[in-house]
Amino acid sequence: MIVLVFNCGSSSIKYQLFDMPDGRLLAKGGVSRIGEAESEAVQKGDRGEIRRQAPVKDHEQGLTAIREMLTDPEKGPLKTIGEIEACGHRVVHGGETFTGSVPINEKVEAAIEACADLAPLHNPPNLAGLREAKKMLPDVPQIACFDTAFHQTLPPHAYRYALPASLYEQYRIRRYGFHGTSHRYVARRAAELMGRDKYDVNLITCHLGNGCSLAAVRNGRSLDTSMGLTPLQGLVMGTRSGDIDPAIVFYLIAKGHTAAQVDKLLNKESGFLGVSGLTNDEGDLEKAAAEGHERARLALDIFAWRVKQYIGAYLAVLNGCDAVVMTGGIGERGTEMRARILEDMEDIGLTLDPEANARMVGMEGAIHASNSPRKIFVVPTNEEAAIARDTFTIASGGTV
């Protein structure tokens, strides 16, 4: 079955084309800077690369450009668009409605739209993309895969905030968590690496990139996660502050900052960028720190400390774990950061093998020492492959 996977943003569309069930990637690409004069469409596949620069005013034109590249006579993987048999869509927020991936119908679209106020930057473009995909492929099953779904197994004492109950009852203010597709993918892969059933593992999965989150996984299901109502809660990130004293917001407003300014400060001007004053890129900060830049080193130390804190907390709520799993851009490639996070954790069963850690860059494998009671894995995430698997399963009449 040929499965097309979409990840639609406000000004971009990313996609991957898979041959299922073996998961062979046929092509990947995207359209960037939608709505701007200098839009770009790019596709890479076995038959070569296509790169086109022309204005793309909206998602409809974006999908037209993708259709043309997929069926390009010289470099496209398909002869006709009709070869696509199912289409999967990444949707960021499913609220409390969705506990897994589902076929898209009018009720599902309405529910995605109803969650837009919880993810105003993500759900509207996700919805726009899937509606355009339905027009392009009207007779093909369309499947929605939600970033929040994996975390719907959190118990109330983990997802509720200590706020008046009326705020939950009226506005559904609670912890939802994100990166669920990634956490689920690497948890399942870690179970395979250990030769265990997917529901027979207790793990701490660490998705560390420009956006970061941890999940405590008990018996293969999410028990707790670091992000909350929005992706702002939890770890320090590229430009997000992560956990702070909430009174800081009121303090800044009292000092003359508007709510919009504080929102921008916490989401786009903090984290690595805010502390270092240099960049939101962890790799660049490592280079700057090695050259003696103190604020770069401080940003890295704050990040590592926060991840270490969450690992310790999740070891407590899980009463131990079988393995810690590192993924995301930093988790997969950040050898120095992995060492910084896992330093001095031997007494709680986590001992890093420095040589294995240094070798494991963008690859899958173990980085724990032979005498480590708990395992440590690097597992490159593949959210698109997870979406393709769900899409294939549902389109074939199965359940996920």
Asked whether the predicted pLDDT for residue 37 surpasses 90, the reply is no
Helix (H) or strand (E) holding 146: strand 142-146
Location of structure tokens 């993500």: 122
- Of the candidates 46, 117, 139, 147, the residue annotated as catalytic is 147
Q: Which domains does the chain have, with CATH numbers?
A: 2-146 (3.30.420.40), 197-383 (3.30.420.40)
Q: How far apart are CA 158 and CA 173, in angstroms?
A: 13
Bridge partners (DSSP) of residue 213 are 207
Q: Tell me what the pLDDT averaged over the chain comes to.
A: 96
pLDDT digits (tens, 9 = 90+) for 305-320: 999 999 999 999 999 9
Q: How confident is the model at residue 122 (pLDDT cuts 50, 70, 90)?
A: confident
Closest CA to 221 of 191, 253, 262, 251: 191
The distance from CA 247 to its chain's CA centroid, rounded to whole angstroms, is 29
pLDDT digits (tens, 9 = 90+) for 319-348: 999 999 999 999 999 999 999 999 999 999
Q: How confident is the model at residue 11 (pLDDT cuts 50, 70, 90)?
A: confident
Q: With beta carbons less than 8 A apart as the criterion, state whether 146 and 98 touch.
A: yes
Structure letter (DSSP) for residue 222 = E
The answer to whether residue 243 is catalytic is no
- If you average pLDDT over residues 123-130, what whole number do you get? 90
- Measured CA to CA in angstroms, residue 117 lies from 60, 94, 152 at distances of 23, 11, 19
Location of structure tokens 């001992």: 351
Q: With beta carbons less than 8 A apart as the criterion, state whether 225 and 154 touch.
A: yes
Bridge partners (DSSP) of residue 29 are 15, 43
How much of the chain, in percent, has pLDDT values that exceed 90? 92
pLDDT of residue 64: 94
Helix, strand or coil, per DSSP, at residue 198: coil
pLDDT of residue 118: 84
The distance from CA 358 to its chain's CA centroid, rounded to whole angstroms, is 24
Bridge partners (DSSP) of residue 185 are none
Main-chain phi, psi angles of 390, to 5 degrees: -60, -45
Q: How far apart are CA 212 and CA 206, in angstroms?
A: 8
Asked whether the predicted pLDDT for residue 119 surpasses 90, the reply is no
Q: What is the DSSP string of 231-269?
A: TTSSS--SS---S--THHHHHHHHTT--HHHHHHHHHHS
Asked whether the predicted pLDDT for residue 400 surpasses 90, the reply is no
Sequence-ordered strand ranges (E) for 345-392: 365-366, 375-378
Q: How confident is the model at residue 38 (pLDDT cuts 50, 70, 90)?
A: confident
Q: With beta carbons less than 8 A apart as the criterion, state whether 248 and 241 touch.
A: no
pLDDT digits (tens, 9 = 90+) for 276-304: 999 999 999 999 999 999 999 999 999 99
- If you average pLDDT over residues 207-235, what whole number do you get? 96
By residue count, the chain amounts to: 400
Give all strands of the β-sheet with 221-225 in edge-to-edge order.
221-225, 212-218, 203-208, 323-327, 375-378, 365-366
- Amino acid found at 388: A
Q: How confident is the model at residue 20 (pLDDT cuts 50, 70, 90)?
A: very high
